[in-house]
């Protein structure tokens, strides 16, 4: 069963809180080693261990038990940062010989805050950090010192900074994971936007453009043609006897025929042609840069011949059946509206159906040879 989002957040929250317990333990060990070298006293080292481990341990227990869930992650982080700073600053004053250890520890803690705080919140944290450390350093200025430069003390100091680098690396890994998550979310968002765009402009079944996109493209093409004094044409296709296909092969068979017809049509079109589903088994082909009706009709005839020659048994489960298409072609006339040119193409389509189907007819044709099957 997939882990819920809330469960993942709680698990991550607990992991990060337990990490603060581990960091407190490691720093307590370092302070203890300095006590062993004589740089501080055992009572002070023990006091730091108790203060650090008890506070971080209580936070871990509260998170594990769910006592602080109502605070939210931001407030929980603020509380943890505040308590940690109080402990570190208090012992910076109490053990001034190890001031560099406590000061560096607060600095490393700030790196954790960079992951979760907003720029405004981090600015306030920076100001509070500067004020608190400044007051602490001023308060203990007369007692500051450094551990004796023995090999043991140098090794302890190296160990502390070595572990500090590890803590910084953990923070860096968090940033890397956040970047990866953001990149993945951006990728998913891009896919969703592309899918929504496709759904807004394409017919879901056939993959052809939908009627709304067609009408927008037709209006744009009309304006372009008016500006450039160019010509364009369109054709309306209708699958012949499509109801009989649905009745004989079911709607699944009809859908398969529609999709196959669109694939066949797109394979015969020019790069700048636009093919759209107009409704049911009717499709519209918008053909820019077609100076004559005959030029447009040649494109339509390629589609019609491809449909008539196709082996439809591969689409209809091995059942032998021919599928044909009729079309009406209309060339745009100056200042003609999109609806008018569509109506003329539709009238030509009706003429093609009336004359026996499986043919294309040019709107307002006067030559009989234009009305015959090509």
Confidence bin at 369 (pLDDT 50/70/90): very low
Q: Are 345 and 330 in contact (CB under 8 A)?
A: yes
Lowest model confidence (mean pLDDT) among 3-7, 28-32, 277-281 = 3-7
Of the ranges 114-118, 219-223, 339-343, which one carries the lowest mean pLDDT score? 114-118
Q: Which domains does the chain have, with CATH numbers?
A: 5-192 (no CATH), 211-371 (3.30.70.270)
Please give the Cα distance from 176 to 169 (Å, whole number): 10
- From the list 142, 117, 144, 115, the residue with the least C-alpha distance to 128 is 117
The mean per-residue pLDDT over the stretch 12-34 comes to 85
pLDDT in tens, 100-127: 888 888 887 777 766 667 778 778 877 8
b/e string for 64-92 if b means 16 or more Cβ within 10 A?
Answer: eeeebeeeeeeebbbebbebbbebbbebb
Residue 368 has pLDDT above 50, yes or no: no
pLDDT tier for residue 152 given thresholds of 50, 70 and 90: confident
Q: What is the DSSP letter of 145?
A: -
pLDDT in tens, 234-293: 999 999 999 999 888 889 999 999 999 999 999 999 999 999 999 999 999 999 988 888
Which pLDDT belongs to residue 159? 83
Judge whether 115 and 74 are in contact, CB under 8 Å.
no
For position 366, what pLDDT does the model report?
Answer: 34
Answer yes or no: is pLDDT of 373 > 70.
no
Which of 13-17, 294-298, 366-370 reaches the highest mean pLDDT? 294-298
Complete edge-to-edge strand list for the sheet that includes strand 232-239: 274-279, 282-288, 232-239, 325-331, 360-362
Q: Is 294 a catalytic residue?
A: no
Burial track 295-304 (b if 16+ CB lie within 10 A, e otherwise): ebbebbbbbb
- Residue 41 has a pLDDT of 92
Whether 370 has a pLDDT exceeding 70, the answer reads no
Model confidence band, residue 193 (pLDDT cutoffs 50, 70, 90):
confident
Share of the chain above pLDDT 70, in %: 91
Terminal alpha carbon distance of the chain: 62
What are the tokens at 338?
Answer: 């999109």
**pLDDT value for 1:** 40
Calculate the average pLDDT of the chain: 85
Catalytic residue among 221, 268, 281, 301: 281
Residue 6, pLDDT above cutoff 90 = no
């Amino acid at each position: 069963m997939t882990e819920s989002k809330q469960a993942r957040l709680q698990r991550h929250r607990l992991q990060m809180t337990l990490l603060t317990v581990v960091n407190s333990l490691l720093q307590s060990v370092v302070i203890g080693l300095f006590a062993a070298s004589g740089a501080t006293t055992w009572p002070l080292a023990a006091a730091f261990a108790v203060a650090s481990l008890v506070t971080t341990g209580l936070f871990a227990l509260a998170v594990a038990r769910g006592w602080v869930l109502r605070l939210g992650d931001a407030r929980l982080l603020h509380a943890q940062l505040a308590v940690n700073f109080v402990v570190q600053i208090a012992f910076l004053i109490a053990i001034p010989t190890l001031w560099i250890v406590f000061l560096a520890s607060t600095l490393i803690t700030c790196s954790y805050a960079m992951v979760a705080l907003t720029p405004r919140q981090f600015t306030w944290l920076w100001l509070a950090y500067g004020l608190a450390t400044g007051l602490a350093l001023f308060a203990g200025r007369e007692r500051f010192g450094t551990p004796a430069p023995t090999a043991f003390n140098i090794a302890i100091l190296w160990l502390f900074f070595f572990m500090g680098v590890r803590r910084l690396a953990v923070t860096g890994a968090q940033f890397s994971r956040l970047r990866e998550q953001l990149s993945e979310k951006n990728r998913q968002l891009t896919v969703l936007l592309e899918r929504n765009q496709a759904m807004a402009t394409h017919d879901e079944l056939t993959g052809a453009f939908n009627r709304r996109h067609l009408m927008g493209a037709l209006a744009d093409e009309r304006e372009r043609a008016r500006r450039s004094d160019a010509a364009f044409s369109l054709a309306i296709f209708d699958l012949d006897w499509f109801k009989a296909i649905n009745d004989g092969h079911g709607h699944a068979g009809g859908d398969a025929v529609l999709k196959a017809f669109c694939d066949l049509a797109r394979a015969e079109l020019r790069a700048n042609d636009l093919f759209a589903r107009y409704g049911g088994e009717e499709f519209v082909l918008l053909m820019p840069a077609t100076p004559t009706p005959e030029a447009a009709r040649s494109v339509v005839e390629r589609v019609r011949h491809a449909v008539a020659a196709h082996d439809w048994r591969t689409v209809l489960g091995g059942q032998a059946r021919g599928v044909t298409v009729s079309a009406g072609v209309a060339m745009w006339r100056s200042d003609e509206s999109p609806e008018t040119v569509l109506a003329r193409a539709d009238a030509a389509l009706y003429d093609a159906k009336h004359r026996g189907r499986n043919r294309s007819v040019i709107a307002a044709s006067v030559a009989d040879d234009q009305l015959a099957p090509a």
